[in-house]
Structure 1
């Protein structure tokens, strides 16, 4: 068992497991910010397993630049575990500090409010105990998380399905900002002042998620990916 400590949280990879799936080659590719020292992030059967009683953000260490498509599979786990709550499959992308600097230079506690001062796009699928699905454009003002009415959903079809993989694509292509789920559009925004670079990360709170098949496509290749 290899154990790496990051922000007080155990990151572990069982070396006896099969080789990780493409895009989840190593936990070293990620930086963790977690509210609770009881949170765990592991590699299990080629997937990243996030099991946390409080807020946690897992940042991809490499910056991204638009045009970009970030994709991954995710599953919200149900079961007997204390954190198996089927809630909060969330993500930030094109995230920077409000002065444009890297979010990795400003470690945060993992509490949701500590990210208010970023400039970023955010999606929260099945938030608030699987009762809301929302998209936001963060503007770097603490306490201000703008939310347009059309980006606030509560229909059952927009929530998480327990123990089922769902495919997510986060898009930043010029003024086109979008979220796709299982090949269908979930949210879109025509942003006249788009965020064009930054970091991206998966976020959750009091839940148990698995992430696999991470892919980041940038530059001219984005055109082909969007066809």
Structure 2
């Protein structure tokens, strides 16, 4: 007659083994998707110690009496009651990292509002070789092809990752609404964007918020800071060529 306790022991052991195998597989997959990268070459760097170079940075902004983009005390200052995009006038391609420090100011200023730490990358206009033709209104960018993260958007209620397809379609890839992924006032965040072998990811203070393995990856285009009705300080901007370690 079979020993029931022994049979239960072996059944439990098999389940535990299967569980362990699954855990090891998931851990390995996570490590692969977050594979470390090595900086190969710095392509562009700006610490905003001088007046804003209008040949290097292209500003598209809804006009207003309190709207401005400037540099002050080694920071890029975006202060606007309406929409604004600040584009790096350098087309990027291949495997790259884009890094910078960004603080959303909430200190009683006219335009202060805790919202919209936003960015575009790998942006191109399928219908126009000249990307810089828009007026800062957010909807004007719907026809571009790009990746976009809106951190603390919609009055700091959402953090969203989208792919724009160049035909008006803005594909939502992932969204957070929990407070851990929203903005805190006057906190400096270190942002890092990676584009590597068809995968793009978005990191905040070393934590990966988003990652996308794109079947049709965007391999070249422009980077831009993006916001609306708020005040920001940005510093230590750097673009580097990268490769897998």
* TM-score in terms of structure 1 length: 0.82
Q: Which runs of 5+ in 2 are unaligned?
A: 1-44
Q: Contact conserved, 2:64 with 2:81, CA < 8 A, in 1? A: no
2:48 to 21, 24, 27: 24
Which shifted more, 33-42 or 60-69? 33-42
Aligned: 1:124 with 2:150? yes
**Whole-Å Cα distance in 2 between the matches of residues 112 and 51 of structure 1?**
16
**Whole-Å Cα distance in 1 between the matches of residues 176 and 141 of structure 2?**
22
Q: Contact conserved, 1:102 with 1:199, CA < 8 A, in 2? A: no
**Partner of 1:147 in structure 2?**
172
Q: Deviation of residue 37 (structure 1)?
A: 3.2
1:49 to 77, 81, 85: 77
**Partner of 1:97 in structure 2?**
125
**Whole-Å Cα distance in 2 between the matches of residues 100 and 155 of structure 1?**
38
Which shifted more, 63-72 or 21-30? 21-30
**Whole-Å Cα distance in 1 between the matches of residues 152 and 210 of structure 2?**
14
**Deviation per residue, 1:33-68 (Å, 9 max, x gap):** 011233111211100010000000000111111211
**Whole-Å Cα distance in 2 between the matches of residues 27 and 192 of structure 1?**
37
Question: Which of the two has greater helix per residue?
Answer: 2
**Partner of 1:8 in structure 2?**
none
Aligned: 1:87 with 2:118? no
Q: Deviation of residue 82 (structure 1)?
A: 2.0
Q: Deviation of residue 86 (structure 1)?
A: 1.2
Q: Deviation of residue 100 (structure 1)?
A: 7.2
**Partner of 1:75 in structure 2?**
103
Q: Deviation of residue 22 (structure 1)?
A: 4.6
Q: Deviation of residue 190 (structure 1)?
A: 0.3
Q: Deviation of residue 102 (structure 1)?
A: 4.2
**Partner of 2:224 in structure 1?**
201
Aligned: 1:40 with 2:64? no
Aligned residues: 197
**Whole-Å Cα distance in 2 between the matches of residues 174 and 194 of structure 1?**
9
Q: Deviation of residue 121 (structure 1)?
A: 0.4
Q: SS of the residue aligned with 1:166?
A: strand
Q: Contact conserved, 1:102 with 1:198, CA < 8 A, in 2? A: no
Matches within 5 A, 1:1-16: none
2:135 to 105, 109, 120: 109
Q: SS of the residue aligned with 2:202?
A: strand
